[in-house]
Amino acid sequence: MKHKPTPPSLPGLPVIGNLLEFQKDRFTLLRRGFETLGPIFTIHLGPKPAVVLVGPEYHDFFFRETDKMLSMDRAYEFLNAMFKGVAFTAGPSEYDAQRHVILAPFAGKKMPGYLEIMVDEISAWLDGLGERGEFELVSAFQRITQLVGAHALMGKAFRDEMNDEFWNLYAELSAGIDPVLPPHLPLPKFIKRDRARARLAAIIQRVIDERRANPEIHNDFLQDFVEAKYKDGRPLPDELIISIILGLVFAGHETTAGQGSWALILLLQHPKYFELVRAELDEHFPPGTPFDHKVMRNLRHLDWALQETERLRPSADVIFRYNLKSYELGGYQIPKDWLTMLAPRVSHVNREIFSNVDEYDPLRFSSERAEHKVADYTLIGFGGGRHRCSGANFAHNEMAAFLALTLQRLDMHLLDKDPSVNYGLGAPRPTATRIRFQERVHSTDPALMVTA
């Protein structure tokens, strides 16, 4: 029987293949592959081939076969040095055993309390800005998301204890992310990563020890993690609790800060739609109105703006799996031990799904047009299937709260008119973006607080 061919490859350099362009501007690389080679093609990240799948039917295959032919933990082994066997860096059976503990913080009934914390932290930042001036958006929103994540998931005392040392160490930990190089090479960034993790673990261990010694005085999710058990009754080991905390803090700010910053940038770059959002806010969230889920349900234009941001600037712009088996798809044979990859940002400019794909047009998500509903898995910035990001609603609420509160109180314009994408080796985010502002509403009214 004649073997099917492997998917066509994008040309690259000897030995390193497409690695340099992938690190510098992967959207341009992957879009070129899609537009020249079709919805299934191959790139080479150094010696490792990766097949890229574009289109809802292939997204369905990808999410359906995860934990079957396609492995998450093998694809993300490079994160194990940071998180050591928690969530998707663990194997499927261990992840299943942890899942009820990890998902518990994101239960819907907890969201009103989280929204209150989000508004508190965002309002405190706004209160500190003064009546007019400048701020750098990306670093400001990253700090807000750090504080929200620590406060909401681990409690106010933990948030207050996470001082600059903690965040500096966390920056060194995050700087050690590298999906290409073996994670235990004796390179300076990996040495710093391991030292930072050891120090962070020691800090968190002291908090765990205090929680175990005084369980009656705490009632938050950090305490729930400390007291959590596997379904067979075994307590979670401290090392796993430490990894869960590090992982949730990472997930709580690394991606949300980038996508939320892009949401504001895109609004400021498109004044006509900005005015629609501002008018909606003035109607449903004027000064004196508590910001809660009832208000959020009426902010349709803001919601569509966030969906359009996910389409154009998803933080998860690539999603990997490791091929445990060879498989056939689309007339090609994809070998065992290759990587399989989705490229959400490329999939979101698929002309078979979306119109005028490069234009900022949030109204495409309105009920009248609903371009994203022509098929399943057209919008995959938060993944899909069983492993869709468990914190997607949390992130959406945080971005919505940031935009609503900021736009209610400030008039703004971009000093850096056209930020580019800073890829690094983590979640892509805008390059530094300065904003000049003037306060719209001079008020310390408790309206900026959420009612329970």
- Which of the pair, 41 or 232, is modelled with greater confidence? 41
Give me the mean pLDDT over the 396-404 stretch: 96
- Which of the pair, 287 or 121, is modelled with greater confidence? 121
Terminus-to-terminus CA distance in the chain, angstroms? 66
Place of tokens 């409690």: 155
Res. 426: pLDDT tops 70: no
Q: Name the pLDDT band for 444 (thresholds 50, 70, 90).
A: very low
pLDDT at 442: 39
d(CA 278, CA 281): 5
pLDDT at 252: 67
pLDDT at 449: 40
pLDDT at 357: 97
By the 10 Å C-beta count (0-12 exposed, 13-18 middle, 19+ buried), 331 is classed as exposed
CA 310 vs. chain centroid, Å, equals: 10
pLDDT at 116: 93
What is the percent of the chain where pLDDT is above 90? Answer: 59
Q: pLDDT tens for residues 79-114?
A: 888 888 777 777 788 888 888 888 777 777 778 888
Q: 98-107, 344-353, 385-394: lowest mean pLDDT where?
A: 98-107
pLDDT at 446: 43
Provide the H-helix boundaries in 155-237: 156-161, 164-174, 188-213, 221-227
Res. 277: pLDDT tops 50: yes
pLDDT at 163: 76
C-beta of residue 63 within 8 angstroms of C-beta of residue 354:
no
Q: 17-31, 290-304, 381-395, 405-419: lowest mean pLDDT where?
A: 381-395
pTM of the model: 0.91
C-beta of residue 421 within 8 angstroms of C-beta of residue 411:
no
Q: Name the pLDDT band for 452 (thresholds 50, 70, 90).
A: very low
C-beta of residue 286 within 8 angstroms of C-beta of residue 37:
no
User: If you count them, how many residues does the chain have?
Assistant: 452
Instruction: Say how many CA atoms lie within 13 Å of 247 toward its Cβ.
Output: 25
Q: Classify residue 164 by its DSSP letter.
A: H
Pairing label, strands 319-323, 339-342 = antiparallel
Res. 445: pLDDT tops 60: no
The three-class DSSP label of residue 445 is coil
Q: pLDDT tens for residues 123-138?
A: 999 999 999 999 999 9
Pairing label, strands 48-53, 339-342 = parallel
pLDDT at 341: 97
- Which of the pair, 56 or 315, is modelled with greater confidence? 56
H/E stretch holding 272: helix 271-284
pLDDT at 217: 81
pLDDT at 138: 94
The residue ranges of DSSP E strands in 46-103, in sequence order, are: 48-53, 70-71
For residue 432 the two structure tokens come to 């530094």
Q: Name the pLDDT band for 441 (thresholds 50, 70, 90).
A: low
Question: What domains sit in the chain, N to C, each tagged with a CATH number?
Answer: 1-83+318-351 (3.30.43.20), 85-276+385-452 (1.10.630.10)
